[in-house]
Structure formats: structure tokens, C-alpha cells
Structure 1
Amino acid sequence: MQQRAINVVLTGVTGTALAGMLVAGVAAASDDSAPQKQFKPERAVAAQEHKAPRQDALKAPEKKQPAAKTEAKPAEKPAVAKDSNNAKKGPKALLSGKTTSSYFWDDGSGVRGDTGAPASGKAMQKGMFASPSWPMLTKVRVTYKGRSITGFVGDRGPGEPSHRGVMLDLDTYTFRYLLDGKKPASKYNAGTGEGHLKGVKWEVLSWGSGAGKKGKPRPFGS
């Protein structure tokens, strides 16, 4: 009876010891695997922290550098334009005014009232004008509707028309050119039906050395 009681006690002690060993083994196994299970979250966090700067770098806007400012220099005025303007103006006039002009071509032919060779002794030519009073060889520029011709006084005239305000006779070529920029039908005919040009501007550029009177034009014989 006593022996059975001892066996029961030993059996209980042995069972308790075995149960304790099993619990300790399970706990040890749990402790060995715990670090591995805990490492994964830490590694994931570290990976996220490592990747975060790249995402921020991609999202960060690039700063644009301001464009360099360039100062515009004022355009220099070409000196040629000034010279060309002076060339267009030509020599300064000593005297100027406006009158009605007729045309002539005196070469001794007797055509259209031709009275013979020009009074200056020079042959009739383009650019020869007739004045009732100015000195012979006076240099004159005439302008009409923007067209200009420079010539000289080489004959006397107009005669009677000068008393009616016609103070300048132009050669046929100059007359037609001032009218419409074209050439006359012939030396004796301008070819337009127009016998006078009203409002012709005249400018005396230099006085001639021949016979005549300087100053504003005067009617023939006055």
C-alpha cells in the first residue's frame, strides 16, 4: 500500500517534470523564431526610409534660372540718308517764285513762230530756256508736279505773253517732261494740246554774265 503511494507520487512528479520540459522547449522555440519575425517590419521601414528621398527628389519642382537680360541698343541712323537728302536738295536758290510757262524751239526753221537762232549765240538744245529780262546764261531750276529740270537762259522771250504773266519759255523737251514725264511728239510740238503750264516753280541758282537784269522777271522790253 505504501509502495503504491510512492509510485503515484513519483508518477505525478515525473509528469510534472515532463510537462515543464515541454513548456520550456516550446518557449525556447518561440524565442528563436521571434527575431526573424520582428526583423521583417524593421527592414520594411528601413526600405521605405531609403526609398523616400528618391520619391521626394522626383516630385521636387526644378527651379528655372532667370533668362539673362539684354539691353537693346538704339539703331544708329545711317549717314548716307542725310547725304542723299542733301544731294536731292541741290544748290541753294538765290531767288525763287512761280509763273506760267510756255514752250519753244528756235532753230531758224520758222516753225511755230520761230524767230531765228537763240539770242545767246548758243545752238538750240534741251535745257535752254528763254526769259524776258534775266541775264543770259543764268542757271535756273524749274519744278512742276514733283519733276525738276535744271537749265539756263539762252534766249529772249516770251514777248507779248510776258505782259500777261507768262514769264518763262521752256524748250519743248523740258515742257513735256514737266507735264507728264514723257517725250514730245517732235521738237516743235509737245504733243499734248497743252500750250502752257500754270504754277511752274522757278529757282535762280546762279546769275549769268550776259546781258539782262537780275532780280524778279520783268515783262519783255520793260
Structure 2
Amino acid sequence: MTASGRPMRYQTVASPYWPLGTTVKITYGDRSAIGIVDDFGPAEWAVAQHDIPAIVDLSAEMMADLTGARSNSVHVRFQVLSWGAGRVFRGAGTGYDLAMGRG
């Protein structure tokens, strides 16, 4: 189960900074997918270990659709389509400004 109480599914996106229920478009190369923030993550240590902070986790299925591999660390583009009204895990930290479109 995810932080939202829903089971993990294709559309599941995790973010430590975006409210649960946020809808986001994720683009890698010429492929895009729409996800919904249903979970929290990655952890602060995981966010900070990348050259560009890792501010979003995708379901394994969405990752495979976009990149061809179920598990990977890649640079993606994102566009928040609508903000959710659910809980937020963290209101500050590594990558926060990037997640909020200020970085």
C-alpha cells in the first residue's frame, strides 16, 4: 500500500514535496506518462546522492515504459498538471526548489 492508502499501480508517483493527489506529466526523451502522487519518497539521502536531486520516484511499470528498464536513475522533465489536496511529507530539503519550479 502507498501513503495514500491505494495499492501501487502504473500511475503511482512518489514525491517527498508534492501533496498526495498531485497530477504530474513525466517526460523522458520523446515518451511521456501521466502520474498521480500516491506515495512519499525518495528518502532525503537518495534525493541528495544524484547530480540533479532525485525528487520523484516512478512505478516500475511507468519507468519501464519510459526508459525500457524497470529500475533506473535517469533525468526526466516534469510538469505539474494539478496540485493535490493531500498530505505533504516534507516542506523543505534537497531538491525542494527544483520540485516547486524554482530551481
Q: State if a TM-score over 0.5 links the two structures.
A: yes
Alpha-carbon contact 1:126-1:174 (below 8 Å) kept? yes
1:60-106 deviations in Å (ceiling 9; x for gaps) = xxxxxxxxxxxxxxxxxxxxxxxxxxxxxxxxxxxxxxxxxxxxxxx
Task: Give the equivalent residue in structure 1 for 2:3.
Answer: 119
* 1:7-46 alignment, distance < 5 Å: none
Higher strand share: 2
Identity %: 33
Alpha-carbon contact 1:132-1:217 (below 8 Å) kept? no
Q: 2: distance between equivalents of 1:215 and 1:127?
A: 24
Q: 1: distance between equivalents of 2:21 and 2:10?
A: 14
Runs of 4+ aligned residues of structure 1 deviating over 2 Å after TM superposition are 213-218
Task: Give the equivalent residue in structure 1 for 2:46.
Answer: 161
Q: Structure 1 residues 154, 162: CA separation in 2 closer, same or farther (over 3 Å shift)?
A: same
Is 2:99 aligned against 1:217?
A: yes
- Bigger Rg, structure 1 or 2: 1
Task: Give the equivalent residue in structure 2 for 1:172.
Answer: 60
Task: Give the equivalent residue in structure 2 for 1:148.
Answer: 32
Higher helix share: 1
Q: Structure 1 residues 215, 135: CA separation in 2 closer, same or farther (over 3 Å shift)?
A: farther
> What TM-score, normalized by structure 2, do the two folds share?
0.78
1:183-220 deviations in Å (ceiling 9; x for gaps) = x6xxxxx2xxx5211x20010000001012597428xx
Alpha-carbon contact 1:132-1:162 (below 8 Å) kept? no
How big is the shift at 1:173?
0.7
> What is the number of residues matched between the two proteins?
90
* 1:94-105 alignment, distance < 5 Å: none
Q: 1: distance between equivalents of 2:47 and 2:57?
A: 10
How big is the shift at 1:163?
2.4
Alpha-carbon contact 2:33-2:62 (below 8 Å) kept? yes
Instruction: Give the alignment's Cα RMSD to 1 decimal.
Output: 2.1
Alpha-carbon contact 2:63-2:72 (below 8 Å) kept? no
1:6-45 deviations in Å (ceiling 9; x for gaps) = xxxxxxxxxxxxxxxxxxxxxxxxxxxxxxxxxxxxxxxx
Q: Which structure is higher in RCO with an 8 Å CA cutoff and minimum separation 6? A: 2
